[in-house]
Amino acid sequence: MPAFTPAQLAALVDADHGLLSPRIFQDQAIYQQELERVFTRCWLFLAHESQLKQPGDFFATYMAEDPVLVVRQKDGSIKAFLNQCRHRGMRLCRADSGNAKAFTCSYHGWSYDMGGNLAEVPFEKEAYGQVDKARWSPRRVPRVEVYKGLVFGCWDADVPSVTEYLGDMAWYVDMFLDRLPGGTEAVGGVHKWVIRCNWKFAAEQFCSDMYHAPFSHSSPVLASLPPDIDLSQAGWPMQGKQFSSPLGHGTGFFMDTPEFMFPLLGETAAGYYLQSSAAAAERLGDMRAQRINGAHMTVFPTLSFLPGINTLRVWHPRGPNEIEVWAWTLVDKAAPAEVKEAYRKAVLRTFSPGGILEQDDGENWTEIQKVLRGHMARQQPFNAQMGLGMDRSDDPDLPGRIGYVYGELAARGMYRRWAQVMGAQSWAELAPRGLGEVASNG
């Protein structure tokens, strides 16, 4: 299948003018090129370190549609490899997580050590004579790195380090991952559910879209307010900003509105978040620890999270019209046990499969995908022009290109980077346009 060229991709994504072709959300050929170029070339979130505490601890996950095993080694390092037996392609391990000294395929019994090396073949001498075990070991993920508790993997050995890949986005990510000594830990397991929509709708919303919140989420938020609140005086915050990275990452947030957290989190979790902000300011400064509230973030392509609310999720693609959402609750490791439990329940109430806000988002994305079944509906370009030409790169308090919180600056940045990655043959082409040169994101 011929690849879409940079010129063809530019016709689908005109970030300079804020125009998006609906084709990028439902075309099977585009999706196949995403699997080949976006999801093999970019850093993808694999697991949280707290899930891999001891040697032999493993977590089964996906890199796009490829199943992988992430395993803590005896020397403390972390390795990842394709969860596929090399004999007939059977899934090597069918457990979600656990601890193992070896992985044995249930089909024909080929056995692999926890580093992903073929160790034993039943009846090897009688049936084969000898098997070249190095040749017939699972495909290794060549690059695995940990950034402040998050384990990332990439199939491209030439990918820059995670720190370089994040660029200015690291400044914003750290207000979630590095508030207090000890970092974060995952609590409550992993929630998984399916939404029938394209992965980019979800990634874009967490990257850029605060605009939907006053309309899509007004009912659950109002219902969460204390009964003595005068609803005529209740309103959504209007002060805030948005950051867009030339590497496709983005975040938006309110400023100086700490009370916004209480109806979402409840007294225990929100009270802890505010009370611990002074200690967090010693590590992060006042801006990130106390003045920024209600943030949403996406690390391109598919890792999204809500600092403060503390949900983190991956949008695993399952074709152009479906995603499988995997969601974690992350908490400060230093937080008291009752606070961790309060956060777990708060995320269940708000951003879980049955969460009062999560269901709003899934309904929106699903309905868009249904509309795009229509021939005429696919001919109408989407408008991503909110805040076009109104951003700046000289904000006195914030790094990177900054726009207004209710805008689409980061959405345009995400789609511009998507087109660049889709059109490039290698990281040699991508690096000059992202790593080291900060270009306008429109």
Instruction: For residue range 163-210, list pLDDT tens digits in order.
Output: 999 999 999 999 999 999 999 999 999 999 999 999 999 999 999 999
Is the pLDDT at 438 greater than 70, yes or no?
Answer: no
With cut-offs at 50, 70 and 90, classify the pLDDT of residue 436.
very low
Tell me which residue has tokens 């080694």: 73
With cut-offs at 50, 70 and 90, classify the pLDDT of residue 432.
low
Write out the CATH class of domain 6-40+168-433.
alpha beta
Q: Spell out the domain ranges in the chain.
A: 6-40+168-433, 45-146
Q: What average pLDDT score do residues 78-88 get?
A: 97
* 218 exposure class (CB count in 10 Å sphere: 0-12, 13-18, 19+): middle
Instruction: For residue range 14-31, list pLDDT tens digits in order.
Output: 999 999 999 999 999 999
What CATH fold (topology level) applies to the domain 45-146? Rieske Iron-sulfur Protein (2.102.10)
**Whole-number mean pLDDT of the chain?**
93
Residue 6: the pLDDT is 94
With cut-offs at 50, 70 and 90, classify the pLDDT of residue 263.
confident
Is the pLDDT at 442 greater than 50, yes or no?
Answer: no
**Using alpha carbons only, what angle is made at residue 230 by residues 226 and 236, rounded to the nearest 5 degrees?**
80
Q: What percent of the chain lies above the pLDDT cut of 90?
A: 87
**From 76-90, 206-220, 389-403, the region with the lowest mean pLDDT:** 206-220
Is the pLDDT at 433 greater than 70, yes or no?
Answer: no
Q: What average pLDDT score do residues 62-89 get?
A: 97
Residue 261: the pLDDT is 81
Instruction: For residue range 272-294, list pLDDT tens digits in order.
Output: 999 999 999 999 999 999 999 99
Active site residues: 108, 209, 212, 217, 361
Output the pTM of the full model: 0.94
Is the pLDDT at 223 greater than 80, yes or no?
Answer: no
Residue 174: the pLDDT is 97
Q: What average pLDDT score do residues 37-53 get?
A: 98
